[in-house]
Amino acid sequence: MAINVVLVEPEIPQNTGNIARTCAAVGANLHLVKPLGFSVEDRYLKRAGLDYWDKVNIKYYDSFSELRDKYKEHIFYYSTTKAQKLYTDVKYPDDCFIVFGKETAGLPEELLVENKEWCIRIPMRDDIRSLNLSNSVAIIVYEALRQNNFAGLVPYGKLTKYTW
């Protein structure tokens, strides 16, 4: 199953590095929408992604409109704390896009209003503002993979002498 993770204007290099590592582990494509709040040469970004940078397909865009225009026929889900629909309430098709906003502000309000039927949320207590971005990506990406029987992944790990 192909999954596309979109980060709109990410600000924290460690989060993006962790997300890149998750994308590498599951074969998801990572789409980064500028402006980025860091340099792609940032040592924290590199460290968080460890030695997996060559295993993730990363694409860069100058705006979200540029990305959306390029993939007009694809389904986009928008992760936000403002949605009514839970991330488990939708069926993630092959080659869908899951869009996440920047750490301090989330996705732009007008984007959410224009796409409210495609907005999803992760449930949490009402006195908590939000989850960490890299955790949110992992939660939703793994739900999409679970729904599709972890297609393309080794579900029980590598068989080694340490596997029980």
Residue 27 labeled ligand binder: no
Using CA atoms, how far apart are residues 143 and 33, in angstroms rounded to an integer? Answer: 23
Residue 17 labeled ligand binder: no
Residue 101 labeled ligand binder: yes
Do 98 and 6 form a contact (C-beta atoms < 8 A)? yes
Residue 84: φ, ψ to 5°: -90, -35
Cis status of the peptide bond prior to 10, with omega within 30 of 0: no
- Specify binding-site residues for S-adenosyl-L-methionine: 101, 122, 130
- Specify binding-site residues: 101, 122, 130
